[in-house]
Amino acid sequence: MSEPLTNAGRPLLKLAGITKTFGPITANEDVTFDLEPGEIHALVGENGAGKTTLMRVLYGMYQPDAGTIHVDGEQVEFRKPSDSIRYGIGMVHQHFMLVPTFTVAENITLGAEPGRAGLFDRKAADEAIRKPMSRLGVDLAPNTITGTLNVATQQKIEITKVLYRGARIIILDEPTAVLTPQETDELFVLLRKLADDGSSIIFISHKLREVFAVADRITVLRDGRTVSTSATAATDPKQVVAAMTGRGDVNLGRVHRDAAVADVVLRAEGISTAKHRHDAALDGVSFTVRSGEIVGIAGVEGNGQSVLAEALIGTVPLTAGTVNLGGREITGLGVADRRTLGLSYVPEDRHLEGIPINGSVLEGLSAGRLRSRRSWRSWGRAFPKAMRAWGSELIERYSIKTPGYDARCSTLSGGNQQKIVIARELEENPSCLILAQPTRGVDLGAIDFLYGRIAEATARGCAVLLISADLDEILRLSDRVLVMYRGRVAAEARTSETSREQLGMHMMGAKVTETAA
C-alpha cells in the first residue's frame, strides 16, 4: 500500500467541530475528520453513529449547527450539493443513481450535459467522457445501454460520473455491498490507482476486512462523536471494533455451535417459479437442510435468492417441484399452515414484512401469536395481562433496548427492530427457520447477540436456511453453502472446504454445474 501524499502538512479537507441536531436528537457532536491528498480514509461506525449525517453535511445536503469545513485551507460553506461539487467533491451512493434505459454517455453527463439552447450534444458528450472513463479503465461504447451492464461496471459508471464533474474528493458509501470478492478486489485496485493519481477517497463501510485491505487511515465514529483516528498499519480489527462498540468481547471469527446434525427437515426438489419482481425465476432448485444444520445461500442479489425464500414460505407459487417439511409435503399449503407445521421466517425487509413499523413493540412480538391462542381472544383490554408479561420477558431475554413494550417500533434502532423479529420467530420453537439477510443494517454488537440466539436454536435441533449477500456472514455461520446463479444452484461446498474466492467465482457464473444437493 502506497503512502498518502502530503501537502506541506495541510490536509486537502478538514471538518472541525461539526455538530448537527434534529430536534432533540444529536446526530453529530463536535466531529473532526480530515483527508490528505492521495489518501483513502475509511470512516466506520455502527448504524446511528453519525457517518451518513456527516457525509451529507460535507455534500451540502445538510447545514451544520456548528463547526467548519475547509478545502485546501479555505473555509467553505455548502448550502446545496452543487456547492460541494464546485469544490471538487463527489458522492457515490450505496444505491446506484443510474437510469437503466439511458446510454452510458447520457448517465455520466446527466445534469451537466454538453449542448446549446437546451439541445443535447451527443458527439460532445461522447468525447467529454473519454478521459474519466480511461482513468477507470472503462472500455465501453458511449451509446451502450446502462441497464445491460453488470453491477461492477455500473459502479464504475457511477464513479466516472463524479470524475466527469471534476471531483478530487470521492465519497464512497458501502461500495462493495453488491460485489463479488473478485469484483471487490478489482475495485480496490481501481481506488488505489485513483489515489496514486491524486484523488482522495472517503471509504464508508461496515466490512472491516475490506477497510483494512484498502484504507490508509481509519476514523471511528460512535454515538455521533469521533472516537479515534489511526493509521491502518498501527491498529487491528479488534481495536476498531472495540472503538465502534465500546466492547472488547465481540466475536469476529467463526461462530461456535454445539449442534448435532441429524435428519432432513427441509427438502426442496426441482422447484421452479415464474420470474418475480426484480429477481430471477427459480429453475429446478434442489437441496436439503438437516436438523441442527445451517445451510447458507450465497449469490449476487437478483439471482433467485429472494424468490427462493418466498417460494419456501408460500407467498410465491411454484410452477414445478415440491417442498417437504419434516417428512410432509407442504407444496400446496398456505403461509399460516406452513407456520403451524414449524416453518418460521425472518424476511429481508423488516420494515415492509417483519414488524409493524408504526405499531408497538408488543404488537411486533405478538404478530401471528394471538391467532393461535384461543384463551386470549376474550380481552378486557387491548392486550391481556398474560401477554404483556410474556412480552416483557422476551424484551429482557433478547436484550431489546426499548422504553417499554408499548414503545413504537419506529423509535428503535435497526438492531433492536431485528431482535423483535428474531425473538418472535424463535419463540415459536420452529423446526426450520429461514433467515433472509438477517443482519442487514444491524450493528456489530447486535449481530454478535443474534448469532448467539441462532446458534442456540440449532442446538435445540432447528434447521436453518441462511440467505445472505454477505459472504463473511455465510462463512462464519454455515455448515454448507450453496451458490445461486440465474435461478439455479451453481455450486455446493462444505464451508470448511471452500473460500471467498471460490464462492466468488461461482457467484459470477464460473464452473456452473447441472447438479445440486
pLDDT under 50: residue ranges of the chain: 1-7, 373-380, 512-517
DSSP conformation class of 334: -
In Å, what is the CA distance from 145 to each residue of 99, 101, 139, 369? 9, 6, 14, 49
Q: Are 286 and 513 in contact (CB under 8 A)?
A: no
Distance CA 153, CA 313 (A): 34
**Nearest in space to 180 (alpha carbons), one of 500, 488, 486:** 500
DSSP conformation class of 391: H
3-state helix, strand, coil in the chain (%, to 5): 35, 25, 40
How confident is the model at residue 515, as a pLDDT?
37
DSSP conformation class of 103: B
Distance of CA 295 to the CA centre of its chain: 20
How confident is the model at residue 513, as a pLDDT?
45
Q: What angle do CA 104, 109, 115 make, to 5 degrees?
A: 120
The amino acid occupying position 21 is T
What's the CA dihedral at 297, 461, 439, 233 to 10 degrees? Answer: -90
DSSP conformation class of 198: T
Q: Are 162 and 143 in contact (CB under 8 A)?
A: no
Distance CA 233, CA 248 (A): 20
| Exposure letters 319-353 (e unless 16+ CB within 10 A, then b) | eebebbbbeeebbebeeeebbeebbbbbbbebeee
Residues in the chain: 517
How confident is the model at residue 380, as a pLDDT?
42
Task: State pTM to two decimals.
Answer: 0.81
Distance CA 88, CA 94 (A): 20
Distance of CA 244 to the CA centre of its chain: 18
Question: Does residue 248 sit in helix, strand or coil?
Answer: coil
How confident is the model at residue 368, as a pLDDT?
67
Tell how strand 432-436 and strand 285-290 pair up.
Answer: unpaired
How confident is the model at residue 455, as a pLDDT?
95
The H or E element containing residue 43 is: strand 40-44
Distance CA 101, CA 431 (A): 45
Distance CA 385, CA 383 (A): 7
Grid cell of 301 as nine digits: 442479489
Grid cell of 374 as nine digits: 384461543
- N-term to C-term CA, the chain: 42
3-state SS string for 52-75: HHHHHHHCCCCCCCEEEEEECCEE
Q: Which domains are assigned to the chain?
A: 13-245 (3.40.50.300), 264-507 (3.40.50.300)
How confident is the model at residue 353, as a pLDDT?
85
How confident is the model at residue 391, as a pLDDT?
87
How confident is the model at residue 377, as a pLDDT?
46
- The strand ranges marked E within 400-509 are 432-436, 463-467, 480-485, 488-494
**Nearest in space to 58 (alpha carbons), one of 38, 33, 39, 40:** 33
